[in-house]
Amino acid sequence: MTSNKVFVIWITLYSSLINGSHFRGGTITWRPLSKTPLGNTVTIQIRQRWSWRLSAVACNQAVIAQQYPIGDAHFLSCTSGNCNFWRVAVTTQTYCIDFNTGVDVSYGEKYDMVSLPVGVQFSVAFSSCCWFASLVAGANSPWSVVTRINTIRRPDGYINSSPSAAVMPIVYKEVGVKHVYVVQMTDNDGSDVLKCRWASKINNMNSYDECGGICFGVPGAMLIEDNCTIIFTLTKIRIYVAVALQIEDYYDKTSTIPMSSTPVQFLFYSYQPASTCTTPPKVYSGRSNYDCVSTSVGRMVIEDILVSVGCVNKTIIDFITSIPAGMTKGPIRNRTASVYAITLSWTPTGNQRGPQVCCIVAVDNTHIQSNQLCITYLVDPDAPQFVGSSAWPVGTIYENQTIFSIESTKPIRRPSWVRSSAIRFYDAQSNSLVKSFDCVTSSQVAYSDTKITIDFQTAPWTRGHSYYVTLDEGVAIMAGASSCLPPSAPITSSNFWTFHIWDPSVTEEPMENNTSTTDLSTVHKDDAIATTDAMKTLAPLSCHSHHIALDPQGSSLTNPLDYLYNEDIYIDSNVTLQCNIN
């Protein structure tokens, strides 16, 4: 009898440990499998990502390999909106994808497919208990994490995707110092306007408690909503503060009601440096922080991450990561006395289409964290593609040609990252580089809607030589308000865009057929003018500028005629060459 009582008491205490102080934050995002579904239903992919106290929710390499579920066995519950359409049991248990013993955290992620009617919206939540005791605000309080799902067609006719964010589950910050922390916001729709706000208990679009006991959990913090920047100072040592945000997407700058709302909850931890040298380690690689990288399902991604120690006699003892499911971390390697390295490798799967975030920080032997490096991988993005038939000029051209252009399948803008993304012109005879234009910085590369225009200013061509053009990945990125938009695909083939410089001693004068292949009915007025100016450079040096006239008389490219959408248009051009010799 006594034995039974002891057994019951032990179970009760253990249950309290497991259910009492193990939550460390997380997020819920979603996207349609098809933006343009047929019929009246759409399949939504829901992604949950939760962080737990490792000592309570165990994870190791064996658990990851076995895909064993971890975390609380609750269900996402509908809290407001068209809840009669939420008829599925989506468990909040996830599959462990990573863990870290240094900060006592395990991470889980899971994808669920849900079929919903087109034209409904509602909020679903993961609410339970409890956060842990070592919090400035919200100690041992319940948690509540809420997302808004919306299958109402957008003004552009597509089904929306929710935004997402790149954060570490726990971020170490020195006590007593003002910090600026940026939460990178991304969106699979690209053109949406993104904002973030503090989660709230009431008066929000979810009509539900979004933050449990950690609402406004960072005392004195200021939030810049347009770029999700938190400015704060931690005033207590060796204690955590919890951050609860909602990231929301708007169709455009004039919209006042968001289309969806994504929860993001994570932790800051305050520390006092334990040594006289407090310079943190520095993480770096071939990419800059918050880079956006395109990849595809089934294509292996390999990232070599380097870190240099900030002080003499310090070492790197750990890397804390927040990584996509399936990404593996190699062992820490000591390259030199002060430089360490780790290799990340990952092959995206079919259910990982869309943005996938990898964040990493290094920790030295005095437990000082490095800067954060976050990379967003856009898996199978709807990225801009350059159209080969729009490359201009092609074929045989004159040696004084200085204007070149190409168009993409989507509106584009100049890239703004740190690394170079170049358009390169090569001499085909020798495969030697003639000229390279860094699209990030060059004023000789201009962007307008879907077009890139390159201005050489001085022609560098050699008569009788052939040339080809290549374009790096990301010489343009898709136009939009999101901070992470798909970069243009690379063009590496020497046959994609070629041209030949006329040699009058060898061949007859080329016909003036190197006009833009863009459909004239879609050309903007300014683009048409630019094309006409560029065509003038095709005139041989011995001739005056040619003249182009359109029938009927009186019309011109600078004063276009108006035509209805379904009305046929015929252009008859008369080209007059005013040449003294011919």
Q: How far apart are CA 246 and CA 27, in angstroms?
A: 10
Identify the three-state secondary structure at position 555. Answer: coil
Q: What is the pLDDT of residue 526?
A: 33
Q: Which of 173-182, 395-404, 534-543 has the lowest mean pLDDT?
A: 534-543
- Co-location of 371 and 426 in the same domain: no
Which residues, at least 6 apart from 289, have a Cβ–Cβ distance to it below 8 Å? 371, 372, 373, 374
CB 392 within 8 A of CB 497: no
In the structure, what pLDDT confidence band is assigned to residue 168 with cuts at 50, 70 and 90? confident
* CATH number where 353 lies: 2.60.40.10
CB 164 within 8 A of CB 247: yes
Average pLDDT over residues 418-426: 88
Ranges assigned E (strand) in 502-545: none
Task: Please report whether residue 562 resides in a domain.
Answer: yes
Task: Please report whether residue 79 resides in a domain.
Answer: no
Q: What is the pLDDT of residue 502?
A: 95
In terms of Cβ atoms closer than 10 Å to its own Cβ (0-12, 13-18, 19+), residue 397 is buried
CB 307 within 8 A of CB 321: no
pTM value is: 0.70
Residue 196 has pLDDT above 90, yes or no: yes
C-alpha closest to that of 327 among 354, 360, 361, 294? 360
In the structure, what pLDDT confidence band is assigned to residue 67 with cuts at 50, 70 and 90? confident
Q: What is the pLDDT of residue 482?
A: 64
CB 57 within 8 A of CB 71: yes
pLDDT digits (tens, 9 = 90+) for 499-535: 999 999 886 777 654 544 333 333 333 333 233 333 3
Task: Please report whether residue 368 resides in a domain.
Answer: yes
- Co-location of 370 and 393 in the same domain: no
Residue 578 has pLDDT above 50, yes or no: no
C-alpha closest to that of 167 among 179, 180, 178, 182? 182
pLDDT digits (tens, 9 = 90+) for 249-302: 999 999 999 999 999 999 999 988 876 788 889 998 877 787 888 899 999 999
pLDDT digits (tens, 9 = 90+) for 212-228: 999 999 999 999 999 99
Residue whose tokens read 């009186």:
554
In the structure, what pLDDT confidence band is assigned to residue 546 with cuts at 50, 70 and 90? very low
- Co-location of 463 and 426 in the same domain: yes
Task: Please report whether residue 18 resides in a domain.
Answer: no
Q: What is the pLDDT of residue 5?
A: 41
117 beta partners: 41
Task: Please report whether residue 68 resides in a domain.
Answer: no
How many Cβ atoms are within 10 Å of 532's Cβ, its own excluded? Answer: 14
Q: What is the pLDDT of residue 528?
A: 31
Which residues, at least 6 apart from 196, have a Cβ–Cβ distance to it below 8 Å? 165, 183, 185, 223, 225, 228, 245, 246, 247, 248, 264
Residue whose tokens read 């920080």:
361
Q: How far apart are CA 421 and CA 440, in angstroms?
A: 6
CB 72 within 8 A of CB 201: no
In the structure, what pLDDT confidence band is assigned to residue 48 with cuts at 50, 70 and 90? very high
- Co-location of 541 and 413 in the same domain: yes
3-class secondary structure per residue, 449-498 = CCEEEEECCCCCCCCCCEEEEEECCCCCEECCCCCCCCECCCECCCCCCE
The amino acid that residue 182 corresponds to is V
Q: What is the chain's alpha carbon radius of gyration, rounded to the nearest angstrom? A: 29
- Strand 260-271 versus strand 170-174 pairing type: parallel
Q: How far apart are CA 383 and CA 491, in angstroms?
A: 13
- Co-location of 317 and 335 in the same domain: yes
In terms of Cβ atoms closer than 10 Å to its own Cβ (0-12, 13-18, 19+), residue 558 is exposed
Q: Considering its fold, how many domains does the chain have in total?
A: 2
Residue whose tokens read 């179970």:
11
Residue 115 has pLDDT above 70, yes or no: yes
- Co-location of 365 and 396 in the same domain: no
Query: What does the DSSP 8-state code read for residue 215?
Result: T
Compute φ and ψ for 5, nearest 5 degrees: -65, -45
Q: What is the pLDDT of residue 286?
A: 76
Domain finish residue from 344, 379, 414: 379
C-alpha closest to that of 433 among 468, 472, 397? 468
405 beta partners: 392, 453
* CATH number where 558 lies: 2.60.40.1220
- Co-location of 313 and 427 in the same domain: no
Q: What is the pLDDT of residue 3?
A: 42
In the structure, what pLDDT confidence band is assigned to residue 463 with cuts at 50, 70 and 90? very high
Identify the three-state secondary structure at position 534. Answer: helix
Residue 12 has pLDDT above 60, yes or no: no
Q: Which residue has the higher pLDDT, 230 or 8?
A: 230
> Which residues span the domain enclosing 438?
388-576
DSSP string, 218-244: STT-EEETTTTEEEEE--SSS-EEEEE
Task: Please report whether residue 12 resides in a domain.
Answer: no
Domain finish residue from 341, 358, 379: 379
Identify the three-state secondary structure at position 527. Answer: helix
Burial 47-86 (b: 16+ CB within 10 A, else e): bbbbbbbbebbebeeebbeeeeebbbeeebbbbbbeeebb
Identify the three-state secondary structure at position 501. Answer: strand
Q: What is the pLDDT of residue 561?
A: 52
Q: Which residue has the higher pLDDT, 246 or 87?
A: 246
Task: Please report whether residue 397 resides in a domain.
Answer: yes
- Co-location of 423 and 334 in the same domain: no
Domain finish residue from 338, 355, 379: 379
Q: Which of 99-103, 337-341, 543-547 has the lowest mean pLDDT?
A: 543-547
Task: Please report whether residue 83 resides in a domain.
Answer: no
Residue 146 has pLDDT above 70, yes or no: yes
- Co-location of 334 and 421 in the same domain: no
- Co-location of 289 and 395 in the same domain: no
Q: How far apart are CA 228 and CA 248, in angstroms?
A: 11
Residue 556 has pLDDT above 80, yes or no: no
- Co-location of 397 and 526 in the same domain: yes
Measured CA distances, 53 to 25, 46, 57, 175, 366 (Å): 10, 23, 6, 23, 22
- Co-location of 420 and 351 in the same domain: no
Q: What is the pLDDT of residue 521?
A: 34
The amino acid that residue 265 corresponds to is Q
